[in-house]
Amino acid sequence: MVPLLLGVAAIFLGATAQNVSVLQQTLSAHGVAAVYPTDKDFKTVSKAFNERYTFSPIAVAFPTSVAQVSAAVAAGAAQNLEVVARSGGHSYIANGLGGRNGALVVDMSKLKAITVRPANNTAIIETGNRLGDVALALNSKGRAIPHGTCSYVGIGGHSGYGGFGFTSRAWGLTLDTVKSATVVLANGTVVQASSSANPDLFFAIRGASPSFGIVTSIEVQTFPAPPSAIVFQYTWNNLDIKTASNGIASFQTFAATNIPPEFGAELVFTSGDQKGRVNFGLTGAWYGDANLLNSTLAPYLKTLPKNPSSTTITPGSYINSVAVLAAPMALNTSSAPDDPNTFYTKSLMTPSGAPMSNGAITSFVTYMANQGFSSDTDWFVEVELYGGTNSAINAVPLDSAAFAKRDTLFTIQFYASSSNGDPPYPKDGFSFLDGMVASIIDNSPSNWNYGAYLNYIDDRLANAAKLYYGSHYQRLQSIKAALDPKDTFRFPVGVA
């Protein structure tokens, strides 16, 4: 194994040796630090979060200023290299490393400023920051933005493709808070993007940013951190197929009732202890008046078995809720290293106007209960509530940003890792998840207008352009042709 890898690396280096030295000279002329395959740190700085992938970039650059990001992009473009940004490096398919060998990786981790401006409570966030650090910095000023639960995810990738968390029904996706951005284009030019400056670019970076530029900072509209928050986690172990199916169907019905925007939730499924059973969880957070959570949840809990296997209700401050949801990882990401995994993920966004039929739900739960019991992977499924009455995600006009799936009721994440979290990934893990998604789609109308979520990016997805970019794909292609004609920002599942 080792000699083979070395052989491949040698061929690769041989073919590009000249370009590496040109690149090295150009970057160092601009003072841009970079790590190359022959450097001893290379293995560490080119390691993917998803250990299913190993890629060898031509170099990993560490710019310390917007001007250095610009110089790095220009240096890569001049050699026709694939150039990608890396923010938190949590792309499911390692696109922060280029998604293949030979890319110039522009690592943003040295650009970490966060500035809250009291005049209008916008914050300028440089894209080297991760979600936990963003939450801490904003909270120290009494402010917050919507975002996902994992503290180590980077704000760059997260805000470029979406950004869902339990505050999203109240505040929208992370990308909905972006008012302007500083962007390095493929030719190295630094521009502002907002509704008044470069509006096409502003459209594109809110849902498809990696294909259009390197966003060095975003200006976001912050919200007052809620005065209190309650995290709730209920689980019912080993439910039978009928009971668990009813729990999904009644979640759809519940979503259509008048639930307040301060309510965020998802259903979580894992393997049961016996064939034909699943563990069923309800996890979420409540940001409204603490006395009103139980009455808000009651109509849904009434549809589930009376006694959960476990109930954990954690009241506290807003930032405590962010920490509880991120646990066991810390919010301050400089306090401990990241925790990689070896996994495959798929997603399915169900339309509000056409919820899943009882037949689709039953076949989905049957699959989890049977094939899920036999699978040699460690899997979970999350059914995230994007829509429902009063959701801020769905209130945004479809054509105001590239994010293409405003009509979403649920975003379902299907996640299967190797049993111990380390490589190798079991081959049947792919067909296992393909079959799980098919259990829903094959039992839905042939014209069902479902989609998929780019932050759960899947490089094996058929019909990816339509499922990810929907009706916005053609507009994105024409913006791409204008701003990045040589496709410098190219990587798997990008806009081309």
Ligand X SMILES: *[C@@H]1O[C@H](CO)[C@@H](O)[C@H](O)[C@H]1NC(C)=O
Helix (H) or strand (E) run with residue 67 in it: helix 66-78
Residues 69-128 that bind ligand FAD (CB under 6 A): 84-92, 95-96, 108, 127
Whole-angstrom distance, CA of residue 467 vs CA of residue 448: 11
- As measured in angstroms, the least distance from the Cβ of 108 to ligand FAD is 5
- Taking the complex as a whole, the smallest distance from the CB of residue 97 to ligand X amounts, in Å, to 17
- The yes or no reply on residue 149 touching ligand FAD (CB under 6 A) is yes
Cα angle, residue 470 at apex, residues 473 and 463 outer, rounded to 5°? 90
Q: Does 476 bind ligand FAD (CB under 6 A)?
A: no
Distances (CA, A) of 192 to 400, 401, 426: 17, 16, 45
- Residue 207 in the binding site for ligand FAD (CB under 6 A): no
The residue range among 46-54, 130-138, 143-151, 241-249 that interacts with ligand X, by the rule CB under 6 A, is 130-138
Is there binding between residue 334 and ligand X (CB under 6 A)?
Answer: yes
Q: Is 63 left (phi over 0), alpha (psi -120 to 50) or beta?
A: beta
- Binding residues for ligand X, rule CB under 6 A, total 26
Nearer to ligand FAD, 161 or 236 (CB): 161
Asked if 450 interacts with ligand FAD (CB under 6 A), we say: no
- Residues contacting residue 128 through CB under 8 Å, at least 6 positions apart: 87, 107, 108, 109, 110, 111, 112, 154, 156
Burial 166-194 (b: 16+ CB within 10 A, else e): bbbbbbbbbbbbbebbbbbbbebebeebe
Q: How far is CA 305 from the centre of its chain?
A: 32
Q: Which does 294 bind (CB under 5 to 8 A by kind): ligand FAD, ligand X, none?
A: ligand X
End-to-end CA distance of the chain: 35
**Local structure of residue 274 (DSSP, 8 states):** S
Q: Which of 48, 153, 185, 241 binds ligand X (CB under 6 A)?
A: 185
| Closest among 182, 119, 181, 170 to 144, alpha carbons compared | 170
Maximum CA extent, the chain: 69
Nearer to ligand FAD, 51 or 262 (CB): 51
111 is a contact residue toward ligand X (CB under 6 A): no
Q: Determine the interface stretch with ligand FAD among 210-218, 371-379, 443-451, 478-486 (rule: CB under 6 A).
A: 210-218
Q: Give the binding range for ligand FAD (CB under 6 A) out of 11-19, 143-151, 368-376, 437-445.
A: 143-151
Residue number with CB closer to ligand FAD (201 or 230): 201
Closer residue to ligand FAD, CB minimum distance, 92 or 286: 92
Where are the alpha helices (H) located in 116-210, listed in sequence order?
A: 131-139, 155-161, 168-171, 199-208
Q: How far is the CB of 3 from ligand FAD (least distance, A)?
A: 30
Distance CA 269, CA 262 (A): 24
Of the candidates 129, 145, 144, the one whose C-alpha atom is nearest the C-alpha of residue 217 is 129
Examine residue 214 and tell whether it contacts ligand FAD (CB under 6 A): yes
Find out whether 263 and 288 touch, Cβ atoms under 8 Å.
Answer: yes
Judged by CB under 6 A, the chain residues 67 through 106 that form the site for ligand X are 79-81
Question: Which residues of this protein are in contact with ligand X, per CB under 6 A?
Answer: 16, 19, 22, 79-81, 117, 119-120, 122, 133, 136-137, 179, 185, 187, 189, 291, 294, 311, 313, 332, 334-335, 482-483
Question: Which residues of this protein are in contact with ligand FAD, per CB under 6 A?
Answer: 49, 84-92, 95-96, 108, 127, 148-150, 153-154, 156-158, 160-165, 209-210, 214-215, 455, 491
